Chains A and B, each alone.
Chain A
Amino acid sequence: MMIENIPFGIPLIGGLLIGFSSVLLLLLLGRLAGISGIVWGAVSAQPDNAWRWTFIVGLVAGPWLFHTLSATPYPAPSPLEWWHAAIGGLLVGFGTNLGSGCTSGHGVCGIGRLSPRGFVATLTFMATGFITVYVIRHVIGGL
């Protein structure tokens, strides 16, 4: 049976890879794979930083290899405007830094180690994400 025939088999495989990467990083380097923390640590020149920069390089190189080797087309570019990207990016950067984590650090890793902060943060950003899309798409009919 091919994996693409299993409902949601492909997203599940992707999720398992993300989990596996987080396990390797914790087991080998003792670090949590929280992307917002890794990015901020890298650009704010924390000590022992080489692994952060190479992780970021890998984060870009991995998808490039995947699309190239599997001949999977790139997803369609977002139909939204540049200023949506600017507002979204600013809020994501501000919120993840203030709240000490994003989907990976609080969600994948935080829940994995049964951290109450991880659970609460994940429920919170999921809730505001749902509400935001609801308001944009169904209340004001697009930004």
Chain B
Amino acid sequence: MKALIGLLCGMIFGTGLAVSGMTDTAKVLGFLDLLGDWVPDLAFVMGGAVLVTLVSFPLILKRTGPVLGRKFFLPASSVLDGKLLGGAAIFGIGWGVYGYCPGPALSASVYLDEKTFVFIGAMLLGMAIASRVGRAL
């Protein structure tokens, strides 16, 4: 059952990315090109998604747990530390270099452009390196 819900949620999420054009690096980089020929689409994608979570999450989190399972799995940390800031800053640079964040990169693999697979492979390598480095910090 959990696997089926995972599949359904992944399909809805991926459809949202494809519908909105976030699997198109030209649109993402166009959005990040604030002082160039700006493409505002991503602001509406983010706005639409946050609108839904902002309204719904507080209501859901009033429950003692999810429908299937005993508890919510929420991040324990609430500190604004160097790892958070440095990690987010580095992520943003990589996002601006090629135009993919993790979700759109995976969804775009269905288009079978070999560069997308290079991106995904490098992303997994980066995650593996950071999980080692992060422990030492």
Interface of A is mostly: helix
**A29-B126 in contact (CB<8A):** no
Task: State the B residues within 8 Å of A (CB).
Answer: 2-27, 29, 32-36, 40-42, 44-54, 56-58, 60-61, 65-69, 71-75, 77-80, 83-103, 105-111, 113-116, 118-131, 133-134
Complex formed: what's the CA distance from A97 to B47 in Å?
24
Is A91 touching B80 in the complex (CB atoms < 8 A)? no
Residues A33 and B68 in contact, CB atoms below 8 Å apart = no
B68 & A29 in contact (Cβ 8 Å cutoff)? yes
Question: Could you list which residues of chain A lie within 8 angstroms of chain B, going by C-beta atoms?
Answer: 8, 10-33, 35-36, 39-40, 43-44, 48, 50-67, 72, 74-78, 80-82, 84-104, 106-109, 111-117, 120-122, 124-134, 136-138, 143
Task: Give chain A residues whose Cβ lies under 8 Å from the Cβ of B7.
Answer: 54-55, 57-58, 61
User: Within the complex, what minimum Cβ distance (angstroms) separates A22 from chain B?
Assistant: 5
Say whether B5 contacts A51, CB under 8 Å.
yes
Q: Are B130 and A94 in contact (CB under 8 A)?
A: yes
Most A Cβ at <10 Å: residue of B26, B46, B94? B94
Beyond A13-B20, A51-B2, A117-B80, 12 additional pairs, beta carbon < 8 A: A16-B16, A27-B67, A58-B14, A61-B10, A62-B14, A66-B19, A82-B115, A85-B116, A97-B126, A99-B88, A111-B50, A128-B91
User: Which residues on B sit within 8 Å (CB–CB) of A8?
Assistant: 40-41, 44
A62-B36 in contact (CB<8A): no
The 4 closest A-B pairs by CB, nearest first: A99-B87, A14-B20, A58-B10, A15-B48
> Given the complex of chains A and B, what is the CA–CA distance between A32 and B13 in angstroms?
12
Could you say which residues of chain B place their CB within 8 Å of the CB of A136? 96-97
B53 CB contacts on chain A under 8 angstroms:
19, 22-23, 108-109, 111-113
* A85 touching B54, Cβ below 8 Å: no
Question: Per a CB cutoff under 8 Å, which of B74, B122, B133 touches A90?
Answer: B122
* Most chain A beta-carbon contacts within 10 A, residue among B60, B97, B131: B97
B119→A36 contact, CB < 8 A: no
A-side contacts of B9, CB under 8 Å: 21-22, 24-25, 28, 33, 55, 58
Contact B20 A11 (CB under 8 A): yes
